[in-house]
Amino acid sequence: MSCVLSAALLVGCVGDRLNMREIVVAPAKGSRVGAESIGDLDPTVQAVLVPAGFQSAGEQRGARVWRWEGPKQPGLSVYIREDERGGVVRLDQDLFGPMGPTEKYKRVESALIQALRTAYGPERLIAK
């Protein structure tokens, strides 16, 4: 398998597939953009992630990070941050060859969307 090297670091192999879902919680009508802060979103997200085995991984570039390491499958990361669109929750599956989303990824993705929909209303969610 041919791999791409950047600054002498292995960053990925040809055929690796990144599985990522970004969920934006848009501000409520009449609210300022970015009204949902990391602190507002974190309890809702944490209620999904902790029972799924995720652990807090601190802060990274302005985002709160949660991490799950799979013993025989790709790990998962969740980033909670704010930007001009509102509060943003991003779920990433580690690169692990040309595979699609794992069952764990699909369950966490579905649970995050449902929890955020319940907490903020479906009209405020933008999922990409």
Render pLDDT for 42-73 as a digit per residue (tens, 0 to 9). 999 999 999 999 999 999 999 999 999 988 88
CA 79 to each of CA 10, 20, 65, 90: distance values in angstroms, whole numbers, following the listed order: 23, 11, 5, 5
The first and second tokens of residue 11, run together, are 């960053």
3-state secondary structure at position 45: helix
CA 52 to each of CA 46, 55, 66, 70: distance values in angstroms, whole numbers, following the listed order: 10, 9, 11, 11
Q: pTM for this structure?
A: 0.81
Tell me what pLDDT residue 9 has. Answer: 37
Tell me what pLDDT residue 99 has. Answer: 74
Quick check: 16 and 95 in contact, CB under 8 A?
A: yes
pLDDT confidence of 12, banded at 50, 70, 90? Answer: very low
In CATH, the number for domain 17-127 is: 3.30.160
Residue 115 to residue 23: CA distance in whole angstroms: 11
